[in-house]
Amino acid sequence: MKEKIKKLNKEWHLSHPMPENPTFEQRVKWHLEHHKQCGCRKISGKFAKQMKEKGIKF
């Protein structure tokens, strides 16, 4: 069964662009806030694995 994905929060995306060449910490901060404010997609793949390895919950 597929996870239901929330609607895109266009306003949030427009006012919160990902920084250019972000550090790992900047990416974590952006993705955690994105998950709260929009949630148009889940945190997955290699980045999710890195977050879990560092003990970051999402």
d(CA 36, CA 46): 20
Half-sphere exposure of 5 (CA within 13 A, CB side): 8
Residues 6+ apart with CB under 8 A from 30: 16, 18, 19, 22
Query: Per the structure block, which two tokens stand in for 33?
Result: 């806030």
Its pTM surpasses 0.75: yes
pLDDT digits (tens, 9 = 90+) for 2-55: 555 568 899 999 999 999 999 999 999 999 999 999 878 889 999 999 999 999
